[in-house]
């Protein structure tokens, strides 16, 4: 097995800088669109089909030579298992038609047993481990990010309902977050037990919070999940707080091995502030639209800037966008491998 990615997560010396990219299995790949169309059904049906999930997870590894695979699923799958109705509407993204508004709604949420309610995820992990020659990353959403979808009923711009609940009904908010955290903790533990070799926690919306609110309403739940995980597994844990450069003093206390960085911060500057952590990132996803020469120079500079890190996993600063030409991804992966050889 090529374990360069795992070594970089642990801050051990590697022969080169490993790369994978967030949302690497997805709509920018014609091969993904082909599998998605096959078997018909919705995106959620795809997430519940281990054979097709396995196939699309392998695609970016086989096509580009990524140094890690990320399980094909979605952060909202366990929220459906908690008893909520979830829909993915074309052009609108995820929708929860019955958002969480009251104590009664929170009471009704169940803490699902992952083996009983999400067997398709665990089955996919098993199938993938039998195939993969690179490590498999499992993942979840962070409780705060998950809560925004449940409270807003979908994606949001100003997060009015979420912040109103925090400020006006903090007990209700904390009760909801406790239940989501319990569910997430069990879900990640099940992934590790089944064979996930690293775990990433996506806090996609952390950056919309003031640092004082992040410290009270988001961070403690990430800390509690990670401390649960530490009791049962030593798989590396990556915490990605998107738009989180204003939160680094807090995110370093989450307990993760690796901090994911978005592109809004210079990686050198971030490395000085992350202490004893490896870092993952942080090319602007839209930099993949640069002309080849400029893209390569940009990657070379990023690798140089990251040299002082305890460990560096090359990634984008957020997910690859669907319009990205796959050829540009190939150029980026090859450039990282070529320029980082030690």
| Catalytic residue set | 23, 27, 36, 74, 149
CB of 202 to ligand CP3, least distance (A): 4
Residue whose C-alpha is closest to residue 217's, from 242, 249, 250, 184: 250
The burial of 169, by beta-carbon neighbours within 10 Å (0-12 exposed, 13-18 middle, 19 or more buried), is given as middle
Q: Which residues contact 169 (CB under 8 A, 6 or more apart)?
A: none
CB of 340 to ligand CP3, least distance (A): 22
Where do contacts with ligand CP3 occur on this chain (CB under 6 A)?
22-27, 36, 43, 70, 72, 74-76, 88, 93-94, 139, 155, 202, 204, 242, 319
Which residue number, 31 or 155, has a Cβ lying nearer to ligand CP3? Answer: 155
Which residue number, 265 or 339, has a Cβ lying nearer to ligand CP3? Answer: 265
Which residue number, 217 or 240, has a Cβ lying nearer to ligand CP3? Answer: 240
Two structure tokens written together for 257? 């091995």
3 state SS of 247:
helix
CB of 204 to ligand CP3, least distance (A): 3
Cα–Cα dist 341/337, whole Å: 7
CB of 299 to ligand CP3, least distance (A): 20
Q: Which residues contact 138 (CB under 8 A, 6 or more apart)?
A: 71, 125, 188, 191, 192, 196, 198, 199, 200
Q: Which residues contact 301 (CB under 8 A, 6 or more apart)?
A: none
Q: CA of 231: how far to CAs of 112, 115, 137, 224, in Å?
A: 20, 20, 19, 11
């Amino acid at each position: 097995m090529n374990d360069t990615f795992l070594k970089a997560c642990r801050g051990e010396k590697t022969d080169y800088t490993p790369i994978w990219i967030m949302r690497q299995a997805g709509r920018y790949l014609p091969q993904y669109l082909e599998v998605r169309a096959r078997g018909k059904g919705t995106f959620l049906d795809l997430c519940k089909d281990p054979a097709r999930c396995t196939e699309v997870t392998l695609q970016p590894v086989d096509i580009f030579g990524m140094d890690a695979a990320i399980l094909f699923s979605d952060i909202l799958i366990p929220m459906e298992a908690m008893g909520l109705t979830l829909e993915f509407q074309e052009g609108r993204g995820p929708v929860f038609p019955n958002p969480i508004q009251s104590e009664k709604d929170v009471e009704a949420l169940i803490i699902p047993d992952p083996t009983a309610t999400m067997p398709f995820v665990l089955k996919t992990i098993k199938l993938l481990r039998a195939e993969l020659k690179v490590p498999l990353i499992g993942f979840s959403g962070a409780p705060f990010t998950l809560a925004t979808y449940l409270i807003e009923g979908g994606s949001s711009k100003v997060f009015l309902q979420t912040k109103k609940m925090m400020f006006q009904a903090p007990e209700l908010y904390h009760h909801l977050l406790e239940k989501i955290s319990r569910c997430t903790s069990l879900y990640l533990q099940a992934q590790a037990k089944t064979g996930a070799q690293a775990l990433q926690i996506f806090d996609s919306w952390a950056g919309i919070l003031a640092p004082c609110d992040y410290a009270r309403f988001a961070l403690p739940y990430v800390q509690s999940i990670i401390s649960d995980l530490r009791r049962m597994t030593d798989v590396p844990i990556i915490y990605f707080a998107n738009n989180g450069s204003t939160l680094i003093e807090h995110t370093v206390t989450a307990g993760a091995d690796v901090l994911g960085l978005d592109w809004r911060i210079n990686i050198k500057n971030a490395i000085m502030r992350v202490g004893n952590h490896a870092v993952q990132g942080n090319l602007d996803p839209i930099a993949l639209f640069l002309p080849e020469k400029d893209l390569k120079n940009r990657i070379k500079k990023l690798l140089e800037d990251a040299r002082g890190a305890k460990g560096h996993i090359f990634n984008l600063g957020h997910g690859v966008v669907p319009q990205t030409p796959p050829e540009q991804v190939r150029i980026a992966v090859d450039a990282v491998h070529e320029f980082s050889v030690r």
